[in-house]
Amino acid sequence: MQARQKAAQGPAVFELWPEHVAALRLFRAVETQFCWADGQPTGLDYVRVRAAPAFRRLARSEREDVFEDVCVMERAWIRKTLALAVERRREARFFNGAATTEIKAKL
């Protein structure tokens, strides 16, 4: 329930330090390159990340540092995504259980 309330409030405003702009841009450009198994994200396809135009536009001297930053973001994104999935399952069980209890009470 909390996740829905937070989502309804809109995104949080945050300040991004200039040294993190390149990593955020790259992450946003390759966020469609996540691999999934059993309905859960397992990580980015690094070959596709490195082949992405956004990665190639980076100066060669910056590429590995920015890539490492994206890997940090990747782990955080996976943790948050999995936590939200667990919360949604709990909510679904609660609502399904409440509906079942309500139906049984009417019988």
Instruction: Yes or no: say if 68 and 20 are a contact pair by the CB < 8 Å rule.
Output: no
Q: Please tell me the distance from the alpha carbon of residue 54 to that of residue 33, in angstroms, as a whole number.
A: 13
Give the model's pLDDT for residue 12. 78
Give the model's pLDDT for residue 69. 97
State whether residue 83 is helix, strand or coil: helix
Give per-residue pLDDT as tens, 50-105: 999 999 999 999 999 999 999 999 999 999 999 998 998 888 877 766 555 555 55
State whether residue 35 is helix, strand or coil: strand
Give the model's pLDDT for residue 72. 97
pLDDT band, very low/low/confident/very high, at 107 (cuts 50, 70, 90): low
Helices 60-106, 2-9: crossing angle, 10 deg rounding: 130
Give per-residue pLDDT as tens, 28-62: 999 999 999 998 999 999 999 999 999 999 999 99
Give the model's pLDDT for residue 35. 96
- Cβ contacts of residue 33 below 8 Å, gap of 6+? 44, 45, 48, 49, 52
Q: Can you give the pTM of this predicted structure?
A: 0.73
Which two three-digit tokens encode residue 86? Answer: 């667990």
Q: What is the mean pLDDT of residues 10-34?
A: 92
Which two three-digit tokens encode residue 69? Answer: 């930053």
- Cβ contacts of residue 96 below 8 Å, gap of 6+? none
